[in-house]
Each structure stands twice: as C-alpha cells, then as structure tokens.
Amino acid sequence: MNYLMSFIFGGLICAVGEFLILKTALTPARILVGYVCTGVVLGAAGVYGAFTDLAHSGATVPLTGFGYLLAKGVYRAVTEEGLSGVLTGGLKAASGGISAAVIFGFLAGLFGFGYPQGSGKKSQFAIYKR
Amino acid sequence: MLIEYRKPIRLIGAAAVGGSMELSGPLGEYLDLAYTDDLFDADSWESAEANMVRYAIERALYKLSFRPNDVDLLLAGDLLNQCTASSYGAADFGIPYCGLYNACATFALGCLIAGLAIESGAIRRAIALSGSHFSGAERQYRFPLEYGCQRTPTAQRTVTACGCAVFSDRDPVEAAPIYLTRAMPGTIVDFGIKDTANMGAAMAPAAAKTLLDYLNATGTAPGDYDRILTGDLGWIGAGHFKELCAQNGVVLDHNYLDCGTQIYKKDQDVHSGASGSGCSAFYLCGYLEKVWRKTPFARVLLIGTGALMSPLTIQQKQSIPAIAHAVEFGKEPII
Amino acid sequence: MNKVDKIRSQYQQKVKISAAGQHIFRDCLRAFWVGGAICAFGEALNAFYRFLGADVERSGLFTSVSLIFLACFFTAIGWFDEAARYAGAGTLVPITGFANAIASPAIDAKREGLVTGMGAKLFLVAGPVILYGTSLSVLYGLILYLLRLFGADLPEV
C-alpha cells in the first residue's frame, strides 16, 4: 500500500512539474527552486507533515520533501534552542542530502566524462572520402 | 543593398567535415571527412571545434592541391565566444585571417565578403568558412551536456559540422563552374521573440525581409531559381517563413528548402531540425557543391539566417534580433 | 499602436500558439510513471534500511543519499540525460534532479580546472535551490521565533 501511495503521489507531483514546464515559461532550474520553496511553505503551514503520512516516499523523495525537511529542521531547532535555531535548523536537517550531493557530484566530475548527447561510443576513427 | 559581382568569381572547391550524427543523417555521404567521435582528436569540445575548422581547411586545400599561401584571405566564424574555434583552428596555416560573427549567417556573410574582396582585385583567392559544434554550443548557450532536461518541439540541434569554400577568379574553369553572381547583406530584424528554444521563429522575419528585398531589387520571382535555401530555420521556422512570405505576396513552391530540415532524419530526435553556423556551410560545401558538379543548377539563392543574441541578453529578458544575408550562385557570371 | 507593432504582436501571437506543447498528455504521463517509479523505489529503499535497523530519520537520509548516489553515477556514465529526455520532470523533480544538477556541471567544467572550473560551476543550477530554500527556511524560523515571543504559535511541522 505504501508503495502504491508513493507511486501515485510522487508521480502526480512530477506530472504537475512537467505540466508547468510545458505550459508556462518556467525552466527546469526555476521548477527546482519553486518546488523547494513550495515545500518550505507547505511545511511551515503544517500541511506537508500530514501529506507525508499519506504519501510516504511520494512526499519525501520529490524536492518538495527537501523543502519540508528544511522547515522541519528550523521548527525543531527554534523549539529547542531559540533564536540560534533560526539560522542552524534548516541546513542542519538538510546537511546529509546536500553533502552527499556535493561529494557524489564532485566524484562524478572527477571520474565521469561527458558523452555528446545522442552520439555513440567514444571511439576515434575518421572516415575519409575521395 | 544589392551587390552584383562583375568579375567571374567562382567557388572552385569546398570541403565539409562533420560528426557522427551528421554522418548518419541523409547527407552523411557528402561529408569529405567525418568523425564517429565528436571530440575530433581533441580533449575538450572547444578544441574539438577548432580541430574541425583545421581539418576543413586542410581538406579543401588538399582537394585543390593548394598550399596555404595560395590563398590570400580567410574569412571564418563560429558560434563560440570570441570566435575562438576559427581563430585557433586557422592559426597553423598562416593565411591572412578575418574573424566574422553573424551567428548562423556567418557562412553567407563570408561568401559575400569573399566576393567583394576578390572583386576589388586585391585578393586572388579567398576562403569562406564557418563551423559549429553541438557540445560547444550547448555548453555556452544552454545547459551542461549531462544535465537532464527535455527539449521543446521547437528546439533545434546545433550541427557538428564545418564547411569551407574556396573562391577565386583566376584558376582554370572547371567542368561545371559555380559562379558567385549576386549578394545582399541583410538588416537586423527583431520581431520580439524571446524564446531561445524557438530560434527558427525569431529568424524567419529576417529571412522573409531579405528574400522580399532581394526579389524586389533583382526583379525576379521565386520560380526563377532552381533552389531557394534558407540557413537554419528548421521545420517550424520554415513554416513561419513561408507564411510571412505568402502574406507579402510571394508564394514559395517546392524549390524552397531549409538547410536545417535536410541534415538530420526526422527520427534522429532533433525536434525542429538542425541549426548552427555549420548548417548552411555543410549543406553548401558538402552537398550542393558535389551535386552541382554532376548536374549544374542555373540559379541558387542561399539566405543565411542568424540569431544575434548572447546568453546574457537572454537572461536579461531581451528579445532576439536576427539577420539574414542573401548570396546567389549561378552557372554563368553576370558580365 | 502603429502598423509595425501590430504586425509584430500578431506574429508573436502566432509563434506562441504554434510553439505550445503538442504532447502535453503524453509527456505528463511519462513524467508521472517515471517519477512515481522513482518514489516507489525510494519507498523500497526506505523499507530496506528500516529492515536493517535504522530509525525513521536515518532511513530517510539513507534513502536520499542512495538516490543521490545513483543519480550522480548515471550522470557520470552519461545515461541520466538520456533518461531525462524521455521522462522530463519525472527525473527532474525527485531528489535525483537535484543531484544531476550538481554532477552535470561538474563533469562539464572539468577541463577548466578543479577550482575555477569544476569548483565554481558545481552550483550552477543547484546554487539557487540551496539559496532560496535556506533563505525561506530562515525567514520561516524568524517568523516562528517572533510569534512565540508574543505568545502565538504556528502549527507543528
């Protein structure tokens, strides 16, 4: 059941993103920013927590879940430590994901090589004619 | 401003170099040199583009049995910032060099200026060259190559190709000569299109204006030409172009072709077709030159189209200004 | 409005209409099933980590990290962009899109050096995400803190 809910709600969130890309002038980068901000706002409004109980990974895996994580971290930190929590809470909660993305991205940059889109394997030979 | 060349300026030889996608396209067999690896023996996309320019000049000179000092002027351009691909690629030859930039209209502009230079008598032979590389252009104008994003149906794929044409008015006349007869530099036209994924639509008004002006100035009709070619409007841009021409009383028939629709097959996932400054250069130097030598055309009009924006002006929400230059080739000179 | 402006705006309208997405339903369906599949896979990973004995928070973190790793890996071997061309927002909106946004400029800018190239370009697309996400969360924290000073409260997250 959890899998079905994750599939349906996660898929719906993605489909909405696709619809926005196609129907409005939003570029993918703006979609990413918009989704994270939406997650923070919905989290702050107390709505997203209930949604995660319903949709499970369908709510936490999309980037709105990342925004929700930020809001949740801030809420907890402000409750526990007060004013300093305003600054530390968000990134502390999201630190695992951000560090992982930076480290794996860096490793990918070190060891990856970009193939041109749509072309085949990296082989070097030329075809001369005439 | 119609230019009529009074000297018998001919396109005496040409060479086209392309990458793997172009090789597997419908015109792949017309490439003089094709690489299955888009890196062209280099280690970065920018050097790859420079190498492509180098190989194109080499092949063109080799086919004509020329040495670099037989050519007096090299007019070259590409899409990279500061025309680096052309400059780095042309560095080894020692040919007097002019870097040009008119985006995808660079090749037509190069032909136009090569004609003027030879007409003046100061230059014996001139090369017009232009190239573009998909990966280099993608890095500069859009996203990193590996970035996962979809293209809209209006988007075009930058051609990985380079075309090099040698013009002269003195060598022995070949079997089916291609004379450079007339040309018309275009004006900048801006119809307020801001979508970089729809460059064909941004360039179509410029192409239409140049075509209408050209037909007016020469007193000809589209039917007088064997082929009317536009540079890289793509399927969608070509549709807009035809419509704009029809609105102004010029109906384009089956003798109209867009180079951007010819280079790839539709199933190569290129959406609206090909674009880039290598597009018209490849079509002309690769395909048309070879076909012409077998079955000469009487008159061919090439309208190179270019979108003159930069990534910064687009981020600043400015619209895309476009330009189109017309160059006419014929089997006889106008004396 | 003079005549030239009128022609221009007519043309812009026409271009806008002809450029409107032709395959909206098809593309949304693709985004739906791929995005849904990634989320369901995330749920499976989550269950797996729970099975291994991680608590709710940790298993969530491990799930994100695993998905990020896979996205970076497939970006590095050049499969991610191929998949994204099919799926669109289906791979963009899950955390995989964020990972790809970091890995792809890193791979791309390698030739420009490790510091000024890869280091600087790493956050090309992901930078704004972190910037606005963090800023908004700090704003939220500030509002929460001030409201509590005056005895009010916001719903629990």
In this prediction, residue B195 has a pLDDT band, given cuts at 50, 70 and 90, of confident
- Residue A21 predicted with pLDDT over 60: yes
In this prediction, residue A127 has a pLDDT band, given cuts at 50, 70 and 90, of low
* pLDDT value at residue A117: 42
Which of C30, C36, C155 is facing A10, going by the closest CB pair? C36
Q: Which of C65, C60, A36, B144 is nearest to C73 (CA)?
A: C65
C-alpha B71/C-alpha C86 separation (Å) is 48
Mutate to test the interface with C, among B81, B149, B198, B247 (most CBs of C within 10 A): B149
* Contact call for A130 and B36, based on CB within 8 A: no
* pLDDT value at residue A114: 60
- The CA distance from C95 to the nearest CA of chain B, in Å, is 13
Query: What kind and span of H or E run contains B136?
Result: helix B134-141
Instruction: Give the predicted TM-score (pTM) of the model.
Output: 0.90
CB atoms within 10 A of CB C133: 27
Same-domain check for residues B95 and B24 = yes
Write the CATH number for B12: 3.40.47.40
Residue B335 domain flag:
no
In this prediction, residue B334 has a pLDDT band, given cuts at 50, 70 and 90, of confident
- Residue B213 predicted with pLDDT over 90: yes
- The CA distance from A129 to the nearest CA of chain C, in Å, is 31
Same-domain check for residues B292 and B318 = yes
Residue B176 domain flag:
no
In this prediction, residue B7 has a pLDDT band, given cuts at 50, 70 and 90, of very high
- Residue A120 predicted with pLDDT over 70: no
* Contact call for B152 and C109, based on CB within 8 A: no
Same-domain check for residues B298 and B221 = yes
Q: What angle do CA B310, B137, B47 make, to 5 degrees?
A: 120
- Residue C18 predicted with pLDDT over 90: no
In angstroms, the Cα distances linking B201 to B121, B152, C28, C73 are 39, 13, 26, 38
* Contact call for A126 and B146, based on CB within 8 A: no
- Which residue from B minimizes the CA distance to A128? B33
Q: Which of B141, B168, B195 is the last residue of a domain?
A: B168
Which subunits count as partners of chain A given 3+ CB pairs below 8 Å?
B, C
- Which residue from A minimizes the CA distance to C108? A114
Tens digits of residue pLDDT in B222-234:
999 999 999 999 9
Q: Which of B134, B114, B131, B111 is nearest to B122 (CA)?
A: B114
Amino acid (1-letter code) at residue A42: L
Hey, is C121 helix, strand or coil? helix
Total domains, chain B: 2
The number of C-alpha atoms within 13 Å of C52 and in the hemisphere containing its C-beta is: 11
CB atoms within 10 A of CB B263: 31
- Which residue from B minimizes the CA distance to C14? B240
Same-domain check for residues B142 and B264 = no
- Residue B312 predicted with pLDDT over 60: yes
Dihedral (CA of A43, A45, A47, A50) sign = positive
Question: Which one is predicted more confidently, C20 or B310?
Answer: B310
* Contact call for B21 and A126, based on CB within 8 A: no
Q: Which of B168, B193, B225 is the last residue of a domain?
A: B168
C-alpha B38/C-alpha B49 separation (Å) is 9
In this prediction, residue A119 has a pLDDT band, given cuts at 50, 70 and 90, of very low
Same-domain check for residues B303 and B225 = yes
C-alpha C28/C-alpha A16 separation (Å) is 8
* Contact call for A119 and B149, based on CB within 8 A: no
* pLDDT value at residue A129: 53
* pLDDT value at residue B142: 84
Q: Do residues B222 and B250 make contact, with C-beta atoms less than 8 angstroms apart?
A: yes
Same-domain check for residues B323 and B189 = yes
Same-domain check for residues B147 and B283 = no
Same-domain check for residues B162 and B187 = no
Q: Which of B182, B168, B181 is nearest to B210 (CA)?
A: B182
Tens digits of residue pLDDT in C21-32:
668 888 899 999
Which of C11, C12, C81 is facing B148, going by the closest CB pair? C81
Question: Which one is predicted more confidently, C77 or A122?
Answer: C77
- Residue A123 predicted with pLDDT over 50: no
What tokens appear for A38 in the block?
């939406």
Tens digits of residue pLDDT in B140-177:
888 888 888 787 888 899 999 999 999 999 989 988 99
* pLDDT value at residue C6: 86
C-alpha B208/C-alpha B308 separation (Å) is 16
Q: Which of B259, B268, B333 is nearest to B303 (CA)?
A: B259
In this prediction, residue A124 has a pLDDT band, given cuts at 50, 70 and 90, of very low
Same-domain check for residues B293 and B188 = yes
* Contact call for A128 and B41, based on CB within 8 A: no
Of B26-35, B109-118, B179-188, B206-215, the poorest mean pLDDT is in: B26-35
Domain range for B109: 3-168
Same-domain check for residues B254 and B150 = no
Same-domain check for residues B102 and B200 = no
The number of C-alpha atoms within 13 Å of B186 and in the hemisphere containing its C-beta is: 33
- The CA distance from A78 to the nearest CA of chain C, in Å, is 7
Same-domain check for residues B10 and B159 = yes
Domain ranges within chain C, ordered by starting residue? 23-122, 125-157
Q: Which of B146, B168, B190 is the last residue of a domain?
A: B168
What tokens appear for B179 in the block?
């004379």
The per-residue pLDDT of chain B, averaged, comes to: 92
* pLDDT value at residue C135: 95
* Contact call for A33 and C32, based on CB within 8 A: no
Contacts of A91 in chain C (CB under 8 A): 134
* Chain length of chain C: 157
Residue B174 domain flag:
no
Contacts of C3 in chain B (CB under 8 A): none
Q: Span B78-95, mean pLDDT?
A: 92
